[in-house]
Amino acid sequence: MDDLSVRAVEFIRRNGLLAPRQGLLVGFSGGPDSVALVLILEELADSGDLPLEVHLAHLNHCLRGGESDADEAFCRRFARQHGLPIETGRVDVAELAGRGRSLEEAARGARYGFLTQVAREKGLKTIALAHHADDVAETVLMRIMRGCGIRGLGAMAPSRPAGGDSQPLRIVRPLLELRKVELLGFLERRGQPFCKDGSNLDTAYLRNRIRHQVIPVLERTWPELNVEALCALNAAAVRINAAMDTVLDGQWGALCKDAGSGAVALDAEAYAALPQELRKLAVRRALVVLAGGDRPPGLSRGHYDRVASLATRPVGAELSLPGGVTARREHGLIYLTSGRRASPVGPLDLPVPGSLVVQSAGLSITSELMTCPAEGQGDLISRAGPHEVFLSLDAIELPLAVRSRRPGDRFHPLGAPGVRKLKEFFIDRRVPLHERDCTPLVVDAAGRIAWVVGHAIAEPFKLTDISGPVLHLTACSSRL
pLDDT at 301 over 80: no
Residues 9, 102 share a domain = yes
By percentage, how much of the chain surpasses pLDDT 70?
Answer: 92
Q: Are residues 156 and 99 in the same domain?
A: yes
> What are the tens digits of pLDDT across the range 201-248?
777 788 889 888 888 888 889 888 899 999 999 999 999 999 999 999
Q: Provide the pLDDT confidence category of residue 163 given band limits of 50, 70 and 90.
A: low
Question: Per-residue pLDDT for 99 more than 60?
Answer: no
Quick check: 480 pLDDT over 50?
Answer: no
**CATH number of the structural domain spanning residue 266:** 3.30.465.60
Per-residue pLDDT, 479? 52
- Which of 171-180, 286-295, 311-320, 461-470 is the most confident on average? 171-180
Q: What is the pTM of this model?
A: 0.70
Average pLDDT over residues 291-307: 73
Same domain, 67 and 209: yes
Identify the weakest region by mean pLDDT among 145-159, 160-174, 382-396.
Answer: 160-174
**Residue 289: predicted pLDDT:** 80
Domain count, the chain: 3
Give the pLDDT confidence of 30-49 residue by residue, as tens digits: 999 999 999 999 999 988 88
Q: Would you state the pLDDT for residue 40?
A: 96
Assess whether 323 and 449 both reside in one domain.
Answer: no
Residues 298 and 428 grouped into a single domain: no
Query: Is residue 205 a part of any domain in this protein?
Result: yes
Amino acid identity, residue 448? Answer: R
Same domain, 322 and 422: no
Residue 241 within any structural domain of the chain: no
226 shares a domain with 79: yes
Confidence of residue 449 (pLDDT cuts 50, 70, 90): very high
Q: Burial of 184 by CB count in 10 Å (0-12 exposed, 13-18 middle, 19+ buried)?
A: middle
Q: Check whether residue 420 and residue 358 sit in a common domain.
A: yes
Query: How confident is the model over 365-382, as a mean pLDDT?
Result: 74
Has residue 347 got a pLDDT over 80?
A: yes
Residue pair 269/334 in contact by the 8 Å Cβ criterion:
no
| pLDDT score for 375 | 61
Give the pLDDT confidence score for residue 56 in this predicted structure: 97
Q: What's the rounded Cα separation, in Å, for the pair 304 and 320?
A: 12
Give the domain CATH number at 471. 3.50.40.10
Domain at 43, CATH number = 3.40.50.620
Residue 374 is assigned to a structural domain of this protein: yes
**Is residue 243 situated within a structural domain?**
no
Please indicate, yes or no, whether residues 411 and 329 belong to a single structural domain of this protein.
Answer: no
Quote the CA–CA distance of 69 and 78 in Å, as a whole number: 14
Return the pLDDT at 149. 81
Asked which of 144-158, 242-256, 454-468 is least confident by mean pLDDT, the reply is: 454-468
The answer, yes or no, to whether residue 14 has pLDDT greater than 80, is yes
In a domain, 28, yes or no: yes
Q: How many CB atoms lie within 10 A of CB 346?
A: 18
Mean of the pLDDT values across residues 337-349? 71
Domain coverage including residue 55: 3-234
Domain-embedded: residue 218? yes
Domain ends where: 317, 337, 357?
A: 337
pLDDT band at 125 (very low <50, low <70, confident <90, very high): very high
Among 310, 337, 364, give the residue marking a domain's end.
Answer: 337
**Considering 234, 251, 286, which residue would you say is the last residue of a domain?**
234
User: In sequence order, what are the residues at sequence separation of 6 or more whose Cβ sits closer than 8 angstroms to the Cβ of residue 1?
Assistant: 43, 44, 47, 49
Residue 270 lies in a domain: yes
Query: What confidence score (pLDDT) does residue 178 get?
Result: 96
pLDDT confidence band for 70 (50 / 70 / 90): very high
Claim to verify: residue 112 and residue 213 sit in the same structural domain: yes
The mean-pLDDT minimum among 73-82, 355-364, 468-477 falls in: 355-364
**Structure-model confidence comparison of residues 378 and 446, the more confident one:** 446
Confidence at residue 65, expressed as pLDDT on a 0 to 100 scale: 81
Mean pLDDT along residues 70-90:
95
Q: What's the rounded Cα separation, in Å, for the pair 471 and 480? A: 27
Q: Which of 125-129, 317-321, 357-361 shows the highest mean pLDDT?
A: 125-129
- Give yes or no for residue 343 having a pLDDT over 70: no
| Average pLDDT for 292-321 | 76
Confidence of residue 392 (pLDDT cuts 50, 70, 90): confident
More confident residue, 372 or 107: 107
Pairwise CA distance, residues 250 & 259, whole Å: 17
Residue 344 clears pLDDT 60, i.e. is over it: yes
What pLDDT score does 236 carry? 96
What is the band of 333 on the pLDDT scale with cuts at 50, 70, 90? confident
pLDDT recorded at residue 478: 62
Statement to judge: residues 331 and 356 lie in one domain = no
* Average pLDDT for 423-431: 82
In 3D, which of 11, 30, 7, 42 has the Cα closest to residue 156? 11
Name every residue whose Cβ is closer than 8 Å to that of residue 200 and which is 6 or more positions away in sequence. Answer: 208, 211
Same domain, 56 and 151: yes
